[in-house]
Structure 1
Amino acid sequence: MSVFSGVQAAPPIEVFQLGRDYQADPSPVKVSLGVGAYRTEEGKPWILPVVKKAETILAKQVEQEEINHEYLAVLGLESFAMGATKMLLGETSPAVQENRAFGVQSLSGTGALRVGAEFLKNHMNRDVVYYSDPTWGNHGLIFKNSGFNTINKYRYWDPETKGFNFTGMIDDLENAPEGAVIILHACAHNPTGIDPSKEQWMKIAEVVKEKKLFPFFDCAYQGFASGCLDTDAWTVRYFVEQGFELFCSQSFSKNFGLYNERAGNLTVVVKDQEPIDRMKSQLTLLVRAMYSNPPAHGARVVNLVLQDAELYAEWKGCIKTMAERIIAMRQGLRERLEKLATPGDWSHITNQIGMFSYTGLTPEMCEFLKKEKHLYLLKSGRMSMCGVNNGNLDYIAQSMHEAVTKFQ
């Protein structure tokens, strides 16, 4: 017998299994509403034109041997990390101007979360983390595998109102132990699409400061949510202005369409420069043991765009295109559901923002949609709005109407 014969099979990851089921479905009306990746009006992946331009420039630089395939530094491409940090915090951020913010290139947002979590566990003795209920499916696993022994949830989604449970979140944060790490979604909360208002964020910041909690932001959708980089970064910038030290994981998968390039950044903000060199030395050892150093191509694409005014302006236009199409699909879906007199209030579809909508559909409704209507969304009712387009909008709305009517 193999020495590995005792290894037990792990349960499938729902979103990836859903993708496999979709691919195997021969139905001509099938729709993928699970994958967290942008799709065009034609339902196809989109390589941003500005990314194509940047890659053409990089190819010429390789040909002329201006760049090569040598290893990056352990903490990554420094100009990329600094550019990403400035994009998040803003050029006029006090943390940027006082040189007390820095970045660590990571394996997308997931890698940034893992590096940050291990640093907090190993060098800050943090052992308790809170994340929203619900949250992105990987948050708990990342912190568990980083050694956190206490993993808690704070209330977020209110199934009755299909909105934000502000009172529940505040109550849970007020009862969290001092020093706990709090995962906060910077914008376009995944999976609900519901974000606190500015006034609510101010109260959240007040409680986090009072309880001496450590904010760890997850920023996967800057610019992708509202179409504006500054709007989507407001929360993180507010916390910095309030004097917080914090971590923030950044992903360029969505806003650059660089899903498989794993371009990400861990932004670190501290009160003064004094501990930065020591922090970087420990982060270097942590990364060295984890994956040695990050890949270059995606980071170079992002870096080139962030440093070039013309490409940067074009990229912001691409972001706006993606955000506006998703917003339009939200409006279209709500209008159709209301026109069909689908039971319930569907205003939450347009009150939400970003890639995902927490529809409020029950697991049995979602199973019906998958088996009978060939619509593939998570059993929690989370729908990727990127899969909705004018060609399938009527079919999706009619199918949802039938599901709700059947199982209400």
Structure 2
Amino acid sequence: MSWFSSVELGPPIEVFQLTKQFQEDDFPQKVNLGVGAYRTDEGKPWVLPVVRAAEKTLANDDTLNKEYLPVLGLDLFSSLSTKMLLGNDSAAVTENRAFGVQTLSGTGALRVGAEFLATYLGRTVFYYSKPTWENHRLIFLNAGFKEAKEYRYWHEEKHGLDIEGLLEDLNNAPEGAVIILHACAHNPTGCDPTQEQWGQIAKVIREKKLFPFFDSAYQGFASGDLDKDAWAVRSFVNQGFELFCAQSYAKNFGLYNERTGNLSIVLNNAAHIPAVKSQITWTVRGMYSNPPSHGARIVAHVLNSKDLFEQWRGNIQTMSSRIIEMRKRLREELETLRTPGNWNHITEQIGMFSYTGLNQSQSQHMVKKHHVYMLKSGRISMCGITPNNVKYVAASIYETLTALPSKI
């Protein structure tokens, strides 16, 4: 007898399966466009110079120890993170109506926030964009939500935002539903609402009494400008919304495996903060008890230093500008080859990912024939494109669309 005989084999996680296949592939021109991590022009991982500098300083600080952090994490890290998101002059900050909770990266922030909303506010329905980061649905359902719904986002024919469908779906949402919103650099499409469209979205959310839960995974990384990438969140706060925002330092600090994140919480009444903090404390206590210190200390050290902060801004501008340049180069190469379709969307999108428009069979053809590893949805990570492989990637797309023509 075995207690585990009834357990069925779970499906593989596509992006990790792709990475494994890529690593086992001995084809010399193979390209990995699946993994969502920054790469240099040489296709190598990059530890930010400012992170290296901070680690050396912290390693030489004999006052630091390995004792537990508080359940809600390193307070300096959380307060600086929330101020960076909202802006130092934000009314929510100056009136002490906002606070942060250190979490296990952005994923942990989403999970802690979702579990709190389900447990203490009785929320059962959440909406996520179609498409979205695949983990959103799993996180919220595992956190206690009962009903997952989609709102339209990507318009296949326009290769852009389906604002009419989005607004219609939010208009039909039940009162109290939680709406997951991408703060910037929408994953996986790279297509963001305009400021005017954000205004339309906010209007519906207010009228229908919905709760906005932002996911901010790319502040600074998307455009190179911290303030620009936080515009949507700040706009909602300035309009008086109460909201949650999950912040990740995986991309903009390159702290992928340090699991460094923050849950920023904005309330309209500071008197409610002690009770909310106390219940989030118990949420975390029953989940992972308290967070790790290393990544949080790095971020806090950098954000708390004028000189290091400026160095970090330079680092994120390096990353964002390289991605923007690769977007231009890929579009140029595709258009030079007269690749079927319109490729304006490659440069109109922003951030780490691009929704190419390739369908599932075309994407799988790219993997099998050309060893260009990409998701079945047609999403590619722009970080995987380099000056050395951009011509090969473009030629592979051209051959694929010639061999397997379809509406693109």
Query: What is the CA deviation profile of residues 269-327 of structure 1, one whole-angstrom value per residue up to 9, with x for unaligned ones?
Result: 00011110000100001100100000000000000000000000000000000000000
1:401 partnered with 2:403: no
Normalising by structure 1, report the TM-score. Answer: 0.99
Once residues 115 and 49 of structure 2 are traced to their aligned partners in structure 1, the CA distance between those partners, rounded to angstroms, is 37
Give the aligned residue type for 1:185: H
Once residues 144 and 19 of structure 1 are traced to their aligned partners in structure 2, the CA distance between those partners, rounded to angstroms, is 27
Once residues 208 and 402 of structure 2 are traced to their aligned partners in structure 1, the CA distance between those partners, rounded to angstroms, is 46
Q: State the 1:404 CA deviation.
A: 1.0
Aligned to 1:33: 33
RMSD in angstroms over aligned alpha carbons? 0.5
Aligned to 2:163: 166
Once residues 275 and 285 of structure 1 are traced to their aligned partners in structure 2, the CA distance between those partners, rounded to angstroms, is 16
1:185 partnered with 2:182: yes
1:42 partnered with 2:35: no
| Mapping of residues 244-323 of structure 1, within 5 Å | 244-323=241-320
1:234 partnered with 2:228: no
- Structure 1 runs of 4+ aligned residues shifted over 3 Å read none
1:372 partnered with 2:384: no
Aligned to 1:59: 59
Q: State the 1:337 CA deviation.
A: 0.5
SS at match of 2:270: coil
Aligned to 2:388: 391
Once residues 401 and 255 of structure 2 are traced to their aligned partners in structure 1, the CA distance between those partners, rounded to angstroms, is 36
Once residues 341 and 160 of structure 2 are traced to their aligned partners in structure 1, the CA distance between those partners, rounded to angstroms, is 14
1:331 partnered with 2:339: no
Query: What is the CA deviation profile of residues 211-268 of structure 1, one whole-angstrom value per residue up to 9, with x for unaligned ones?
Result: 0000000000000000000000000000000000000000000000000000000000
1:176 partnered with 2:186: no
Aligned to 1:101: 98
SS at match of 1:183: strand
> Which of the residues 106, 120, 136 maps onto 2:117?
120
> Which of the residues 109, 129, 135 maps onto 1:138?
135
Q: State the 1:407 CA deviation.
A: 1.1
Q: State the 1:80 CA deviation.
A: 0.2
Once residues 88 and 333 of structure 2 are traced to their aligned partners in structure 1, the CA distance between those partners, rounded to angstroms, is 43
Query: What is the CA deviation profile of residues 56-87 of structure 1, one whole-angstrom value per residue up to 9, with x for unaligned ones?
Result: 010001xx2x1100000000000000000000
> Which of the residues 214, 228, 233 maps onto 1:217?
214
Once residues 404 and 98 of structure 1 are traced to their aligned partners in structure 2, the CA distance between those partners, rounded to angstroms, is 56
Once residues 64 and 92 of structure 2 are traced to their aligned partners in structure 1, the CA distance between those partners, rounded to angstroms, is 31
Aligned to 1:110: 107
| Mapping of residues 14-33 of structure 1, within 5 Å | 14-33=14-33
Once residues 333 and 26 of structure 1 are traced to their aligned partners in structure 2, the CA distance between those partners, rounded to angstroms, is 24
Give the aligned residue type for 1:7: V
1:345 partnered with 2:330: no
| Farther off after superposition, 1-10 or 101-110 | 1-10
Once residues 328 and 122 of structure 2 are traced to their aligned partners in structure 1, the CA distance between those partners, rounded to angstroms, is 46
Aligned to 1:84: 81
Query: What is the CA deviation profile of residues 344-379 of structure 1, one whole-angstrom value per residue up to 9, with x for unaligned ones?
Result: 100000000000000000111111110110000000
Give the aligned residue type for 1:393: V
> Which of the residues 120, 144, 148 maps onto 2:145?
148
SS at match of 2:196: helix
SS at match of 1:343: coil
SS at match of 1:290: coil
Query: What is the CA deviation profile of residues 144-191 of structure 1, one whole-angstrom value per residue up to 9, with x for unaligned ones?
Result: 111111100000001111111000000000110111000000000000
Once residues 263 and 53 of structure 2 are traced to their aligned partners in structure 1, the CA distance between those partners, rounded to angstroms, is 26
Give the aligned residue type for 2:58: L
Once residues 403 and 201 of structure 2 are traced to their aligned partners in structure 1, the CA distance between those partners, rounded to angstroms, is 40
Q: State the 1:4 CA deviation.
A: 1.0
Once residues 286 and 249 of structure 1 are traced to their aligned partners in structure 2, the CA distance between those partners, rounded to angstroms, is 16
SS at match of 2:39: coil
| Mapping of residues 192-211 of structure 1, within 5 Å | 192-211=189-208
Percent of residue pairs identical? 62
Give the aligned residue type for 1:166: I
Once residues 104 and 211 of structure 1 are traced to their aligned partners in structure 2, the CA distance between those partners, rounded to angstroms, is 28
Once residues 238 and 144 of structure 2 are traced to their aligned partners in structure 1, the CA distance between those partners, rounded to angstroms, is 31
Q: State the 1:118 CA deviation.
A: 0.3
Once residues 388 and 22 of structure 2 are traced to their aligned partners in structure 1, the CA distance between those partners, rounded to angstroms, is 18
Unaligned runs of 5+ in 1: none
Once residues 6 and 350 of structure 1 are traced to their aligned partners in structure 2, the CA distance between those partners, rounded to angstroms, is 49
Q: State the 1:2 CA deviation.
A: 2.0
SS at match of 1:304: helix
SS at match of 2:93: helix
Aligned to 2:6: 6
Once residues 190 and 89 of structure 2 are traced to their aligned partners in structure 1, the CA distance between those partners, rounded to angstroms, is 29
Normalising by structure 2, report the TM-score. Answer: 0.99
Once residues 32 and 97 of structure 1 are traced to their aligned partners in structure 2, the CA distance between those partners, rounded to angstroms, is 45
Give the aligned residue type for 1:52: R
